[in-house]
Amino acid sequence: MNQDILVVIEHLRGQVSDISYTMLAAGRELAQSTGGSVVAVLLGHNSQNLAGDLAADRVLYVDHPALADFTPEAYQKTLAGLIGENQPRAVLLGHTTIGMDVASGLSAQLGLPLVSSGRSFTADGKFISQICGGKIMAEGDLPGPTALVTMVPGGYKPEQGQSTQPPQLTEASAPALEGLRVALKQYIEPEVSDVDIAREQLLVAVGRGIQNQDNLSLAEELAEAMGGVVCASRPVVDQGWLPTSRLVGKSGKTVKPKVFLAMGISGAPEHVEAITGSDVIIAINTDPAAPIFNVAKYGTTADLFDLVPALTDQIRQAKSG
């Protein structure tokens, strides 16, 4: 076993996901305690160009037509072989639909310990996991000999995992990937009949703390005053108060506005994952332990029902003056 840290790069339709850069930053910190290197694992087909800005000591690239798009079986077979050959100290995967699908299978197949919802690593190599919806931080020694870790966003910024210098790229052979049971046939995207929140520069987001549909008017008036758009976390959309086109999160849209104002949102990992690219995150939540404050630049525990109307009035007065 060596002390290297393998980071499995997630990408979709020619774009590297932000969680991949977050994991590279985490891998760098962990490698400083193990004394190993950060090795980015890139699986794809004609995807070498995606390695250009990865902040890794080297990139291990596997090219095969079956890896052009993600399927759990192809990824699991390929990664099982790479882990067996390299015997790394840890393998980092995203705590995403892709990463969790692969990590659980690898753990069972290879008999390796799995640490879920990892947020960061300490200077002496301990893991810190964000559990119970982010309300509890669990710290422990990284199990051996090789640990699988699924990483959530929030502990590191994506730009910390980016580099202006292309890393060394080494190609590795793919295992036999013929006769796979699952293959991607096509992407089906819904028609856009509403605003595209992924393109908006100012978002006012509402969560469970808005309490009922009638209170959405508070967010809508604030967004209008600020020149922004209202979006929401999963509980609001599940209630039917806003359409799915306004959903921010792992099963909705990833957004990168200049300002993301979160009102009554706790900050569960599947939501935070989609907002870490925002320039400024502002949180309003009466719970001082809410995980959203871990990623917010500014925050307050004031009651949103007292604060938002006053804030809206102040903005309107400032604009009219």
What are 313's two structure tokens?
Answer: 């009035």
How confident is the model at residue 47, as a pLDDT?
94
- Residue 128 backbone dihedrals phi, psi, to 5 degrees: -125, 115
Cα separation, 39 vs 57, whole angstroms: 6
pLDDT tens figures, 170-180: 999 999 898 88
Domains 5-172 and 197-320 agree in fold: yes
Mean pLDDT score of the chain? 91
Sequence ranges of the domains in the chain: 5-172, 197-320
How confident is the model at residue 277, as a pLDDT?
83
For residue 190, the one-letter residue type is P
Is 192 a residue whose pLDDT tops 70? no
Cα separation, 202 vs 199, whole angstroms: 9
In CATH, which of 3.40.1390.40, 3.40.50.620, 1.10.3720.10, 3.30.420.140 is domain 5-172? Answer: 3.40.50.620
Is 132 a residue whose pLDDT tops 80? no
Continuous H helices in 153-240: 216-226, 234-238
Q: Which CATH architecture has domain 197-320?
A: 3-Layer(aba) Sandwich (3.40)
Higher pLDDT, 139 or 193: 139
Q: Looking at residues 205-214, what average pLDDT do you find? A: 94
CB 58 within 8 A of CB 2: no
